[in-house]
Amino acid sequence: DPMRERVAYRTIAPLANGSAAIVLYNLFNGEQFDYYDNKTYNVADDITVVSHVSPADYEEAANMIQPFNGKWKVPEEGLVAYDFHEGTGFKLDEKTEFELHGFTDKLLILSPIKHNWAVIGRADKFLSAVAVTSVEYADAQMKVTLKESGPLVVWSGAGVPKSKGLTFVTLGNGFYKTDIPVGDRDVEVKISR
């Protein structure tokens, strides 16, 4: 019970193109005795909960899909994780821990790496990957089709992405963002490196 025990409430959901959204919540209200550290907390206390995300979590994303066809497999090239609130990301190679201070959450978009590329999606949307209709991957380039244009975040494990008429700004750790004007439907973006 994450409201009465000092553990994070965690849930994961499948998104488009093999991506998933995982969220960690600190719901511990601290109004009772906590067996974790043998203390009684008041609701005003700023309680910290430690939780984690790992590649194994990605496998559980398919549990919400009906009919259930089995767990997802972690892609051979791995996964990247993008923090929606912070606008940063990292390669998800192993279990990564987070501290959740007070009543808060951590929303991460997990995206598969293919041909040393990963597509996060629209940076201005909570579920970024849902804005992506399709992705075609190749070693030197990829084609991303957006339902509606807007700021796009991608990951490149082998160089700076480029696209005609667009400028990519580094977000660190191989993540890049380009500001495509919002509003056009069914936009194809060809990205190379």
Q: What is the pTM of this model?
A: 0.89
Q: Which amino acid is at 181?
A: P
Contact 113, 79 (CB under 8 A): yes
What does each of the 193 residues of the chain score in pLDDT, given as a tens digit?
777 677 899 999 999 999 999 999 998 866 666 666 777 766 556 788 899 999 999 999 998 888 888 899 999 999 999 999 999 999 999 999 999 988 889 999 999 999 999 999 999 999 999 999 999 999 999 999 999 999 999 999 999 999 999 999 999 999 999 999 998 999 999 999 9
Q: Could you tell me how far CA 123 lies from the centroid of its own chain?
A: 11
The amino acid present at 61, given as its one-letter code, is A
3-class secondary structure, 165:
coil
